[in-house]
Amino acid sequence: MPIVTVEAGALSKTQKQELIREMTDSVSRILKTPEMSVNVVLKENDPDNVGVGGKLLSELHGAD
């Protein structure tokens, strides 16, 4: 039972569907495992919860 975790910023429902579909297809093909055994977990990170170079990501992108 492969588990793939993807961490990203905010994603639209369409992006989530496409990402899950593509990740499932790739993992299933590469590992030669049934698609139903592939689990994809998406974690959306708020820019205030990510730091780059000692600053909040929201500060770097002017989101705040």
**Inter-CA distances, 62 with 7, 45, 47, 55, 58, Å:** 21, 16, 10, 11, 6
Q: Among 36, 55, 35, 38, which Cα is nearest to 47's?
A: 55
pLDDT in tens, 40-62: 999 999 999 999 999 999 898 87
pLDDT tens digit string along 7-46?
999 999 999 999 999 999 999 999 999 999 999 999 999 9
Going from the N-terminus, what domains does the chain have, and what CATH number goes with each? 3-60 (3.30.429.10)
* Phi, psi angle pair for 51, to nearest 5°: -115, 140
pTM of the model: 0.81
Cβ atoms of 40 and 8 within 8 Å: the answer is: no
